Chain A
Amino acid sequence: MTCVQITAENLIEMLRQMLRIRHFEENLYQMYLARQVPGMSPHLSVGQEAVAVGVCQSLQKQDYLLTTHRGHGHVLAKGASMSRMLAEIMGKETGYCHGRGGSMHIADVSLNIIGANGIVGGGLPIAVGAGLSSLHLKKNAVTVCFFGDAASNIGSFHESLNMAAIWNLPIVWVCENNQYGLSTSIKGVLAGGSIAARAAAYAIAGVTVDGNDVLQVHEAAVRAVEEARSGKGPTLIEATTYRWYGHGASDNRSYRTKEEEARWKEKCPVKRHKSYLLTNNILGQAQIEAMEKQAQDEVQEAIRFANESPLPNPDTAGDYVFSEVL
């Protein structure tokens, strides 16, 4: 196995992206509690930053990304604008989707993020298609498809992994195993006990990584992306992690113990990476704090932008269904 090269810049960039995600999600939570966000609670990925960042740091601009209802982190990690994301989450005209999608359907097609999906497992078949076109049109693009542990049980997971495998498509399947599907622990519902092990059924590589170690995630991602790009087909990465908040903000998390939550908070991916950077003298404390402030400033700017943005004109509610009216 070749070593994965990683520079100091990469490492610093990883912290920067993780801090962006952490600050964005925490602020969004507060905004939701203050009733500034319409609709159901946003599905926050606080605690899962390392998976998003570790994977996205291995991608190039032309690579496709599909994500889930808990996708803000992935989208930010691939370079999306906080302002346009927040505007979309608040239903404003200036949002990525002109207020028509909201939190669960964020996309920035110019960055080849072709959508977050509100249906569990809904994105996997679409990822197959992105892989198909990449092959057919010789785009040299890899498709990364994020999904959760619970999605590994839905029919489309099996159909998609099978189809991508038989056609040897350039896809990296990234399963964020945060241990729960809403209130259901994955332990009781996962036959065989391992999601990565399911890769074998489809004759593809399956890797389990510590999802809270951004470097481990990154290393596995780099290898998988390399495999895909060189025509060796898909890989399934299972990244073990934890979401600090509930499924949504209104979730009282009665299905988890306080001890379990405390244990996982100890393994905070941001804290660990900061510690790594400090220990290895890649960054000083002051610099880290400056980065924190920078992230917070970016969030504040996004909040200002979103608040000042107009709502969509109700008369346009029928627009964008079709590209051509018959």
Chain B
Amino acid sequence: MLNRILMPSLGATMEEGTITTWRFEEGDTVESGQIICELESDKSTFDFESPCSGTLRKIIAAEGQTVPVQQIIAVIGDPNENIPVEWLSGEQKGAIAATAEQTGATAETETSANEGRRVKISPKARKLAQQLGIDIEDIKGSGPGGRIESGDIEKAAHAVKKALKQPITPFGPVRRQVNAKVTQSKQQIPHFYIQTVVDMTGAAALREKYSSKGTSISYNALLMKAVVSGLEAEPSLNMEYCDEGLRPRAGKNVGLAIETPGGVIIAVIDDVDKHEVVELSQKIAEAVNCARQQQFHAIKMSGACMTISNLGRSRVETFMPIIHPGESAILGIGSIADRPVVANDLIVRCKTVPVTMCVDHRIADGAVAARFLEAFASYLEHLE
């Protein structure tokens, strides 16, 4: 009896996971409940317990490999039973095909259409590729019938050498997620940008007031509240884009972009309108903390109508972040600093912040966004 061990789903939105460490080797006996490997998703790390006892017959997904949820990562069970070839990884099947070619056996290695494409390669070139660590899948052969020959391997090795000044650092799971989302967003969402400068004198004073009383409120909390104001003025921005039309969202949820060691993640605070500022600040602080410690399971990471990306502590003036897919807009907050403004015909010093709003043009037009921004800025400029 052989059991297929599958990549578990650690969260509703998890699409794939990475094996970071195997605690056992092929041939070891494992017990049900023993931690057999460590997994990582874009949200969290996870010690994976074996669902069954038996011999760890085959590791299908090696350390460092990323595998979609529910796909096979290992086989545990009877030490002698033959493992069906369809369970193996593409590379493992390829290795069997190469051996079968050598012994002249006809091995059935083709299964699904996207696995086990037979590469035509001379024996000498195959050996050379193994020695040089060249992946033959991507090489175009110059031999008869497109067969890869040693010269092709040598060229590829040379090219690889040239291209690499430094060794490659592989993408982690978070980075991979970010890369996928920003690429998707830039390719599919038609962004437009509007900008304003907001007077933060009142916001700064409010913070001082709380601080002197021993509590703290964060700029991010105030910004989130400002978003709620904006949504009250323009509810059409609290819509989710679908191919057929717009679906209104249930609550007023706002996301905050947080930098983590693996890459930027978005923490979502639900129902911002229902929390007052101090509580909101605490919630935000907790989320930031969890994110920095990569405890992604403790954070809600989806469902916002828009996200705040705050570079207030830097010297950045304007920046245009990329809308998180599924959201209507994203706000790029520049540095909160003293700037010259015109007031009462005079040029005076004033604490301001440049705000750039990037909007999904399918959900809102310029005037709508402008009205949102009006209400957004108004909240911040009329704090008590």
A–B contact with Cβ pairs below 8 Å: the answer is no
Chain A positions within 8 Å of B, measured between CB atoms, are none
